[in-house]
Amino acid sequence: MAMMRLRREDPRVVGTFRLHRRLGAGGMGVVYLGSDKRGQRVALKVIRPDLAEDQEFRSRFAREVSAARRIRGGCTARLVAADLDADRPWFATQYVPGPSLHDKINEEGPLSPAEVASIGAALSEGLLAVHDAGVVHRDLKPSNILLSPKGPRIIDFGIAWATGASTLTHVGTAVGSPGFLAPEQVRGAAVTPATDIFALGATLAYACTADSPFGQGSSEVMLYRVVHEEAHLGGVPDALAPLLASCLAKDPADRPSTLSLSLRLKEIAAREAHGLSGGPLENGPGTGAGWERRPSERPTGQRAEEYARQRTERRTAGSSSPRPHPSRPPVPRDAAARPAGPASAAGKNPRTGGRNGRRVPVARPTGRNGSRTPVRTTSGGRRPGPDRRLLRQRVIVFVVVTLLVALGIAAAQGCQGPARGLGAERSASAAAGVGMAGPYGVGERNP
């Protein structure tokens, strides 16, 4: 929520609360951000000085406080304190952090059907608590809905009124926001919970299209369209259009009840979320493909990005298991561990896959020049193909044979070395005339 600095004319302390920032201003007064002595932050509303003496505005302000006190539920701002007898009456509610629905759509554009249905279901539950307290909000619109981290909250019960009461209208005027008023409010008829259903339908249509279902124009033009023309729902998704059309019916009796609307919006929100995350297809069981269904149901924008991310995650998770070739049936994982059995009735050898013991050649991928290409693994590296393994075996055999030959030559040379030494020694002795030592003594000749 946008905050502004306090102006010179703004009070600094109201009751027991110290004011810090301006949160906004409306037809009744100014809303401030304040805090008490314990540090609890509140949204404090003060009636403008020029309206404090107007009894009609004081009565309206008193009804707002009374309505806030009667409502119990998590979809409204809890009343903290109030002073209706002060010179400038005020009341403080729990501060709700977060932008209004109006600001969010202006900044980010229309919401997805799942988001709209989820917000609508929560608002329906809030209205159910409001109506159970016997109160009709009468001014539900995007700027009166705050999107807090805990869910949407309904604020500003400034023109709330008891069930069955008429609108505060003068001649040619109506209290409320043109484009979100119900036809009975414009006519000055009694308001009922169906009045808030009409406003909620217009609000959800605005969330889907970023525009009022009755277009733009002056207050008089907008009020005329609300009473006499049908709402324009051309940009509303098909999942929500029929339900919102029933909410915008001219006759209050034709609109769904608050409870029925809440249940139907919950169903739509669950269906949209289920379709986004993957579920049963139109003609078969679920495959986790999500929006891979009919072309008219394919997502766009943020849902398309989410769908692409989910597809990437599924592909990454499934990349560890090899995919069978399209022309071959899948091979069981335990096929290699199964013992070879007898040939089938068709004559196929269970080990080779051929008939009558003949091995069937397996086609291997080849490159442009006819050479075999290496097979890539799922981790991105290269796994050697059959040619590399054969070459490695040949190199090993060559190295082993070479080593054996070298060892044989070395052994042969070792055996011939002593014999050659002895022969040389005998030749040297003969040349010197000295005989070798033998059984007949040194220098004696053998007979």
Distance, CA of 150 to CA of 172 (rounded, Å): 40
Reduce the secondary structure of 355-388 to three states and give it as a string: ECCCCCCCCCCECCCCCECCEECCCCCEECCHHH
Q: How would you class 22 by CB atoms within 10 Å of its CB: exposed for 0-12, middle for 13-18, buried for 19 or more?
A: middle
Distance, CA of 344 to CA of 412 (rounded, Å): 58
Distance, CA of 303 to CA of 272 (rounded, Å): 10
Residue 34 dihedral angles phi and psi, to the nearest 5°: -130, 175
Choose among 176, 173, 129: nearest CA to 154. 129
For 46-83, give the DSSP string.
Answer: EE-TTTTT-HHHHHHHHHHHHHHHH--STTBPPEEEEE
The catalytically annotated residue of 50, 85, 139, 254 is 139
**Is 54 considered catalytic here?**
no
Q: What contacts 24+ positions apart, CB below 8 Å, involve 63-69? A: 63/157, 63/159, 63/160, 63/161, 64/91, 64/156, 64/157, 64/158, 64/159, 64/160, 65/91, 67/130, 67/133, 67/135, 67/157, 67/160, 68/93, 68/157
Beta-strand runs (E) in 255-404: 375-376, 382-383
Cα distances from 91 to residues 79, 238, 284, 288, 430, in angstroms, run: 8, 42, 58, 52, 139
**Which residues are known to be catalytic?**
139
